[in-house]
Chains A and B, each alone.
Chain A
Amino acid sequence: AETSLDDEADGTFTIVPTADPTGTGDDWDSWGGMAPYWTRVIEPLVWGTDGMQPQPWLATDWTATDDTTWVFDLREGVTFHNGEEMTADDVVHSFEEDILTDRGDFVHGWLHLEPGSVDRIDDYTVSFETTEPFPGFPGTIAHNMIDIQPPEADRRDAEIIGTGPFTLAEIEQGQQLRVERFEDYWGGAPEPTELTFRAAEDATTRTDLLVAGEVDLIHEPATSRISGLRERDDVRIETQQSSGSVFVSINIHREPTDDADLRRALNYAISQEEIVNTVLENIGQPARGPLSTVIDWAADEELPAYERDRDRARDLVSQSSYDGEEISCLVENDMDDGRTLVQILQEEFGKINVNLDVEVLEGPSLRDRTDRGEFHLELGTSQSNSPAADYIMWENFHTMGISNKDLYEADGTGLHNLGGEVDELIETGFQSHDPDEKREAYVAAQREIMDAGVVIPLFYREYVVAADAELEGFDLHPIDKFAQWGELTRTT
């Protein structure tokens, strides 16, 4: 591995993220041949701290002037890659045109903004009018997709002009994307002269690329290879707790999983420690709740623990209305380790006399099934890509959350929504400006959710970055897509 790297000019690095940096073909998270994540070409107004708090970025400060109005002060002296200075006009343009108009309704609900609600106050001040009180607004827009570009940029046509430390140099669709150092970066020019992001969505291929010395840094090597990599001198392994967690969410409106006893039984059937210690190669933390503990209002410690207790589980099963039929468990085909995990569930549930029918499906089929509510369990990951994780609670567990709303409106049910008190607690948490009040409400909601066994938490994710041992200065973040490459260097 070393040989090939030594020859390279210093300051150029090749990085392999988990997703194709040139975009997945999906309009939503890639434009003009580039996915906005990872590459640090474009930037949002707000960033996130390692503690998942909003952090000034292109905006230096923000205040809520009333329940629904936010005023943001912009950083002065920020230059776009085309040499122009960033002003409020660019911010208004980006929000009004690119974000609120182009991307469609989905964004309105997410940001709680409607088109026409972003106004320039002066060259360096912008105001936002949210549709309802939304304390999480700054954290929510701390997201790679909510970036600022000047009107001259034509993001559909690979004309991407950002403010980031790197400028887009070259795209080879489906293969790689090259960026170069932006000397006039407002935060000071970055160390690397050039970065190449390569596409390799298969974990084993990524690992092979690193081991063969073709790349310098990879995200998420294959789980099976991690212990091997740890033993190597030429590879450096870093792990970072992520904002994501993996859990099984249960359709509580469908027989027989509408029976809380059965759901609790399923929870008692699983040993999170065992999973982490074996198939996960100790990457990740056994979970008690649905939210990663990097989120400050995640409840973990305060939640009832379902230690594995098969006798109890079997008792609960026999108490419940379950009578031996197969219950289905869906998992998406490209979830790392998904096939393995779901088979463990199957085996463990088998031991408490619950028959699990596993279905590994591709995204659209899976969504089709969940949209219709035609499933019992779904194994999945929930991860926040912005510091504001509120939406995980809202979208998953609130009756009007995206998961539940359609079915609730159609036939008064939903999927994972307990309704009533939980809805209220989530609303309180969502709208509270007071951190303590917010935490209290969310913890209470999580406790109710866990009591009723709406989810089977498995583990809080950690993610692994493996790099050439000579590499230094990579700054990992709970949100893996917030990684910064500005200080990346090679020790020789």
Chain B
Amino acid sequence: MSVVLESIAGAIGRRYRALRTSRTLATFCANPLNVAGLSIVTAITIAAIIGPLVAPYDPATQDLANRLQGPSLAHPFGTDQLGRDILSRILYGARLSLGIAVAVTGIRLVLGTTIGLLAGYAGGWVDEALMRLVDIQLAFPGLVLALVIAGILGPSLRNVMLALAVVGWASYARLVRGTVLATKERDFVRAARLMNVSRFRIATRHLLPNVAGPVVVLATLNMGTVILGTAGLSFIGLGAQPPTPEWGTMLADGRHHLRTAWWIANVPGVVIMCTVLGFTLLGDGLRDMLDPNHETTLEKPT
């Protein structure tokens, strides 16, 4: 295990150096959209970390006398139907919404990558069986299955997470398997086989690093999808239980006030939109940076 850690540390070091010296970072920064994505994600992450410390109010404390107040100095994003400060709720919600996204994406990633690696590397009937499993998962429209699962289990954030995690892993499995299969047939892996390099080492040194790029990209893009999925389930009524300041639930609750107190719905709406946008932009940027096509272009003989 320590060997792996050591090699990972080494790889990170080299990667960092490569990043600093190579043009990839410049490529990333050249597109203002990428920079925007990175900034948004950074901002949201910071909000999630320190949000509760800087929030001006408690997210659950009601103030019926000051309900439905428009944006003002005291309440920059206004107050909701129970007089709660929306800014504070958004800040507390950041941790929750991001947490869900990270957790769900994490489960999907680990599950999907493991299955994909196994299928791609083992091949044969293992591959066949695992890929059918993937097909089965993919056969269900994601939100529909999530809705059914969450619905049967009952409304709660935990169930939403579970339902969303169960439905999204297959794309990772497919991606990883595809990359593994393609990489496995590349000459450098064949060469490694001929050099008596152990299977484990081939998997960790040659296959995983080549899989990591696309997986990171997918995971980044996935963060956005999960946030949207959570919002969708919240709207249907399977989201967080009150008074949890989860963004999707806030947006869903606020829609009744869209005409009378636009900020209740639109603030979480815009925040969700920006977050998803941020992750998508970042994912696109990372893809530009880590694009496997980038390498194939290099590999094309002139």
Give the residues from 349 to 365 in chain A that come closer than 8 angstroms, CB to CB, to chain B. Answer: 358-362, 365
Are B61 and A342 closer than 8 Å at their CB atoms?
no
| Number of interchain pairs (Cβ within 8 Å) | 59
Q: Is A175 an interface residue (CB 8 A)?
A: no
Q: Given A224-B256, A362-B237, A365-B154, do A279 and B243 touch, yes or no (CB 8 Å)?
A: no
Q: Whole-angstrom distance between the alpha carbons of A342 and B244 in the complex?
A: 13
Q: Is B210 an interface residue (CB 8 A)?
A: no
Task: Kindly list chain A residues whose C-beta atoms are within 8 Å of the C-beta of B258.
Answer: 204
Task: Kindly list chain A residues whose C-beta atoms are within 8 Å of the C-beta of B82.
Answer: 279, 340, 343-344, 347
Task: Kindly list chain A residues whose C-beta atoms are within 8 Å of the C-beta of B127.
Answer: none
Chain A at the B interface: SS class: helix
Chain A interfacial residues counted at CB < 8 A: 25
Q: Given A225-B260, A340-B81, A358-B242, do A347 and B60 touch, yes or no (CB 8 Å)?
A: yes
Q: Mark B110-153, 1 if CB is under 8 A from A, else 0.
A: 00000000000000000000000000000000000000000100
Q: Is A339 an interface residue (CB 8 A)?
A: yes
Are B260 and A360 closer than 8 Å at their CB atoms?
no
Are A203 and B260 closer than 8 Å at their CB atoms?
no
Q: Is A382 an interface residue (CB 8 A)?
A: no
Q: Is B64 an interface residue (CB 8 A)?
A: yes
Q: Whole-angstrom distance between the alpha carbons of A360 and B154 in the complex?
A: 9
Are A204 and B242 closer than 8 Å at their CB atoms?
no
Q: Given A340-B82, A362-B237, do A278 and B256 touch, yes or no (CB 8 Å)?
A: no
Q: Whole-angstrom distance between the alpha carbons of A150 and B37 in the complex?
A: 69
Q: Given A340-B81, A344-B62, do A360 and B155 touch, yes or no (CB 8 Å)?
A: yes
Q: Is B206 an interface residue (CB 8 A)?
A: no
Minimum Cβ distance to chain A for residue B236 (Å): 10
Q: Is B67 an interface residue (CB 8 A)?
A: yes
Give the interface of B toward A (CB within 8 A): 60-62, 64, 67, 81-82, 151, 154-155, 237, 241-243, 253, 255-261
Task: Kindly list chain A residues whose C-beta atoms are within 8 Å of the C-beta of B241.
Answer: 358-360
Q: Mark A345-386, 1 if CB is under 8 A from B, else 0.
A: 011000000000011111001000000000000000000000
Task: Kindly list chain A residues whose C-beta atoms are within 8 Å of the C-beta of B237.
Answer: 333, 360, 362
Chain B at the A interface: SS class: loop
Of the A-B pairs whose beta carbons lie under 8 Å apart in the complex, a sample of 13, sorted by A's number, is: A204-B255, A204-B258, A227-B260, A274-B64, A279-B64, A333-B155, A339-B242, A343-B243, A346-B242, A346-B243, A347-B61, A360-B241, A362-B155
Q: Whole-angstrom distance between the alpha carbons of A312 and B182 in the complex?
A: 74
Q: Whole-angstrom distance between the alpha carbons of A340 and B61 in the complex?
A: 13
Chain B residue nearest to A347 in the complex (CB): B62
Q: Is A420 an interface residue (CB 8 A)?
A: no
Are A228 and B259 closer than 8 Å at their CB atoms?
yes
Closest 5 CB pairs of A and B: A278-B64, A347-B62, A343-B242, A204-B256, A224-B257
Q: Given A279-B81, A333-B237, A362-B237, do A342 and B242 touch, yes or no (CB 8 Å)?
A: yes
Q: Given A339-B242, A339-B253, do A361 and B154 touch, yes or no (CB 8 Å)?
A: yes
Are A361 and B155 closer than 8 Å at their CB atoms?
yes
Task: Kindly list chain B residues whose C-beta atoms are within 8 Å of the C-beta of A223.
Answer: 256
Q: Whole-angstrom distance between the alpha carbons of A228 and B261 in the complex?
A: 11
Minimum Cβ distance to chain A for residue B24 (Å): 48
Are B261 and A224 closer than 8 Å at their CB atoms?
yes
Q: Whole-angstrom distance between the alpha carbons of A305 and B82 in the complex?
A: 25
- Name which of A342, A343, A346 has the most chain B CB atoms within 10 A of its CB: A343
Are B64 and A224 closer than 8 Å at their CB atoms?
no
Minimum Cβ distance to chain B for residue A401 (Å): 27
Are A224 and B81 closer than 8 Å at their CB atoms?
yes
Chain B residue nearest to A339 in the complex (CB): B242
Q: Is A327 an interface residue (CB 8 A)?
A: no
Chain A residue nearest to B156 in the complex (CB): A359
Minimum Cβ distance to chain B for residue A488 (Å): 27
Chain A residue nearest to B153 in the complex (CB): A365
Task: Kindly list chain A residues whose C-beta atoms are within 8 Å of the C-beta of B242.
Answer: 339, 342-343, 346, 358, 360
Task: Kindly list chain A residues whose C-beta atoms are within 8 Å of the C-beta of B155.
Answer: 333, 360-362
Q: Mark A192-211, 1 if CB is under 8 A from B, else 0.
A: 00000000000110000000
Chain B residue nearest to A334 in the complex (CB): B237
Q: Is A294 an interface residue (CB 8 A)?
A: no
Q: Is A1 an interface residue (CB 8 A)?
A: no
Are B256 and A222 closer than 8 Å at their CB atoms?
yes
Q: Whole-angstrom distance between the alpha carbons of A279 and B64 in the complex?
A: 8
Q: Whole-angstrom distance between the alpha carbons of A342 and B241 in the complex?
A: 11
Are B243 and A278 closer than 8 Å at their CB atoms?
no
Task: Kindly list chain A residues whose C-beta atoms are within 8 Å of the C-beta of B260.
Answer: 224-225, 227-228
Chain B residue nearest to A226 in the complex (CB): B260
Chain B residue nearest to A279 in the complex (CB): B81
Task: Kindly list chain A residues whose C-beta atoms are within 8 Å of the C-beta of B255.
Answer: 204
Task: Kindly list chain B residues whose C-beta atoms are within 8 Å of the C-beta of A203.
Answer: 256
Task: Kindly list chain B residues whose C-beta atoms are within 8 Å of the C-beta of A278.
Answer: 64, 67
- Name which of A227, A278, A365 has the most chain B CB atoms within 10 A of its CB: A278
Q: Taking A204-B258, A224-B257 as given, write out 4 further A-B residue pairs in contact, using a Cβ cutoff of 8 Å, ordered by the A residue number.
A: A204-B255, A224-B261, A279-B81, A340-B81
Q: Whole-angstrom distance between the alpha carbons of A358 and B244 in the complex?
A: 10
Are B259 and A225 closer than 8 Å at their CB atoms?
yes
Task: Kindly list chain A residues whose C-beta atoms are within 8 Å of the C-beta of B253.
Answer: 339
